Chain A
């Protein structure tokens, strides 16, 4: 399930700017633990965003994205009161969706 995301979405002049903070380890698979064993890769592989149930963005991510990633993007359209939902799925199949209301 992972920890909750922090999503902020603000609309201005017909453009909605969304800022998302995600809580994720984002292990590259290249690091080793104290006893020398490789730490398995564990990262967000797919990300999607919806504005009022309409998909507005999908992204394929890899291990080069930082731990606890921050994502900012703009949607054409959207107004105060609309709902923005962001979903990530990691390479272990874990997934999490969080929502925010556009201000």
Chain B
């Protein structure tokens, strides 16, 4: 029972981290129709910038400045890259962001090398917040939860309660009409892209110290972010939140419990073959839940696409 509570908290942390990445991506995707393959690369840039800044001015300045730099970079990419490619259609845009992802990874390796970076949790947060039955919850995790919940509330407020948010929402569905009303839609696009990448940057800053800061970090998280926005529904902030938490808890619980498939199969009435090596289903019999944990979100995505193509909270088809 205690362990369930601990896993719930761990899953919440993973889920909220994923949310910060997918929130920006889902807005960008629904607004421009572009799958930004480089989104996770901005997450990586956030971590590396923050690491570099933290060497001179400490962690907190990194948390403040790194996302700003990433956001400005992102806005620049939209203004001078994507906007030019946009006129040639979606495929060139896709290829552009894909190339950008590769470029950023090479650039990071060139500047910082291929090694792990010693980017660490700030000292004021290096203590155990509380413990549940011997499982300590580090204070940094609580800090991560607060930062991401704060960002969610701020985003929700801006999108639903402010004028800017209304324009963004309108531009999501009817960009031509909004433009005809005299709003600068390209500027809105640039702003959303910048804010979206800055959010990815924040995620990188606070995830870097716990998940490791190395050139492979973007690749490791990249694909799962796309899964999140497809499950949640394109353009829906609530969808991104629910899907992120769902995936966070699924992967955490799958890794936490060593359920063997042999037990399940036997429980539903199959008998275990005497010589496993001869059995065609040998791999299925020897499988455990932690081994298939990483593919469960993808299975969920396939199910969602079959049963509810617009995603959990989406209004349009994916």
Judge: A and B partners, yes or no.
Answer: no
Using a CB–CB cutoff of 8 Å, the interface residues on chain A facing chain B are: none
B-to-A contact residues, CB < 8 Å: none
